[in-house]
Amino acid sequence: MKANGFTYERDGLTFKLADAYGFCWGVERAVQMAYEARKQFPQSKLWITNEIIHNPTVNERLSEMGVNFIEEKADGKDFSGVNAGEVVILPAFGASVHEMKFLADKGANIVDTTCPWVSKVWNAVDTHKRKDFTSIIHGKYSHEETVATASFATTYLVVKDMKEANYVRDYILNGGNKAEFLEKFKHAMSENFDPDTDLDGVGIANQTTMLKGETEALGKLFQQTMMEKFGVENVDKHFIVMDTICDATQERQDAMYKLVDDKPDIMLVVGGFNSSNTSHLQEISEDKKIPSYWVDTAERLDPASNTITHKLAHGELVTTEAWLPNRPVTIGITSGASTPDKVVEDVIDVVFATKSALQSAVSR
């Protein structure tokens, strides 16, 4: 498809592939490092603190290679099985400062696959800390990358979207109900966070997989807020922003906007169901009102019944019947940054199988 201008046509189906999709540099590097760790420590017990990336196929492959996943229990990760000298792989989206220290103290051999772009965000947070600023992290407070990023900050507030950002802006400018603020962000702020004093100086950081446009808008909103509150001449004493948006996320989102602008009849978004960057690709498509199906593996499509089980951007898993119409259609297809090309190929194969089943049913 790439050689053919990212298009493939057969049996009345025209596939248009996003011109940036799938494995990003950081994920490729992490997977390569994990496979290499297995080769270099053939006799050692290998652990990984989390899914190395959010993709079931890659994680299954690691399990087959004997890599053990640290179990997540109600009170946190269970490191009790890890012994000194064993190898622990840290995933592409990093690990918290606390986890890294704990593992180092245990004498584990750490293979750190944290993506350098994620480290760049951590550096930004470190700069905020040195200036005694609060880090406002655009992200989802429970996402592993955001948990790791927050662990580098002394004072932080995680804001997931513009609605929450505007709430914080109002509080900065006009004050408000402190108890309500603390309740609203109870899982998304540092201990003892005080909105009356901790929002006088803020720096912006981001979960690298959030929508680029939203992170930029959020940065501008807080810059404007600080100018209004402290005067334009003092803004640098109260606000700091550094460019920490990952190129790969940006490229995949830009390619998705391009693809949906061509108005395909259907969109297929391929990627792990807990992958944040994939959920944003799906969101772009849903916003454009294009029938869009997010699947993690080809098994979600059943050619015989023409059904597809897919996830919506906001998390629901639904099954749609007769999703593929039996007429010529254009299908846009893309995949998240942690999706191997093989999964996309498998999905395309099953779509052709579905088409062929539809045609056979008509000719019977």
Span 128-187, contacts to ligand SF4 by CB under 6 A = none
Nearest residue by C-beta to ligand SF4? 26
Least CB distance from residue 29 to ligand SF4, whole Å? 8
Do 10 and 359 contact (CB within 8 A), yes or no?
Answer: no
In the block, residue with structure tokens 């997989």: 209
95 binds ligand SF4 (CB under 6 A): no
Instruction: Output 29 or 237, the one with its CB closest to ligand SF4.
Output: 29
* Segment lying near ligand SF4 (by CB under 6 A), choices 4-12, 112-120, 155-163, 259-267: 112-120
Among 124, 248, 259, 333, binds ligand SF4 (CB under 6 A): 248
> Which distant-in-sequence residues (6+ apart) come within 8 Å of 185 by Cβ?
157, 158, 193
Least CB distance from residue 64 to ligand SF4, whole Å? 23
Q: How many residues bind ligand SF4 (CB under 6 A)?
A: 15
Least CB distance from residue 249 to ligand SF4, whole Å? 5
Do 97 and 190 contact (CB within 8 A), yes or no?
Answer: no
In the block, residue with structure tokens 């696959």: 113
Span 273-292, contacts to ligand SF4 by CB under 6 A = 277
In the block, residue with structure tokens 């840290």: 90
Instruction: Output 181 or 273, the one with its CB closest to ligand SF4.
Output: 273
Span 15-34, contacts to ligand SF4 by CB under 6 A = 24-27
Sketch the per residue contact string, 182 through 211, with ligand SF4: x for CB under 6 A, - otherwise.
--------------------------xx--
52 binds ligand SF4 (CB under 6 A): no
CA 220 – CA 244 distance, rounded (Å): 14
Q: What is the token pair recorded at 57?
A: 């196929």
Instruction: Output 92 or 308, the one with its CB closest to ligand SF4.
Output: 92
- Residue 24, beta-bridge partner list: none
State how far the alpha carbon of 90 is from the alpha carbons of 53, 69, 93, 113, 172, in Å. Answer: 10, 11, 8, 6, 37
- Residue 99, beta-bridge partner list: none
Among 89, 115, 240, 358, binds ligand SF4 (CB under 6 A): 115
Q: Are strands 266-270 and 239-241 parallel, antiparallel or unpaired?
A: unpaired
Least CB distance from residue 24 to ligand SF4, whole Å? 3
- Identity of residue 359: Q
H or E element: which one contains 320? strand 317-321
- Closest by CA to 161, choosing from 117, 250, 221, is 221
Q: Alpha helix (H) ranges present in the chain?
A: 25-40, 56-64, 97-106, 116-130, 144-151, 162-174, 178-184, 212-230, 247-261, 276-287, 341-363
Q: Alpha helix (H) ranges present in 131-189?
A: 144-151, 162-174, 178-184
**Catalytic one of 145, 191, 214, 321:** 145
Instruction: Output 92 or 158, the one with its CB closest to ligand SF4.
Output: 92
Least CB distance from residue 38 to ligand SF4, whole Å? 20
Please say if 233 is a catalytic residue: no
Least CB distance from residue 271 to ligand SF4, whole Å? 11
Report the interface residues with ligand SF4, using CB under 6 A. 24-27, 92, 115, 117-118, 208-209, 246, 248-249, 277, 337
The residues carrying an active-site annotation are 145
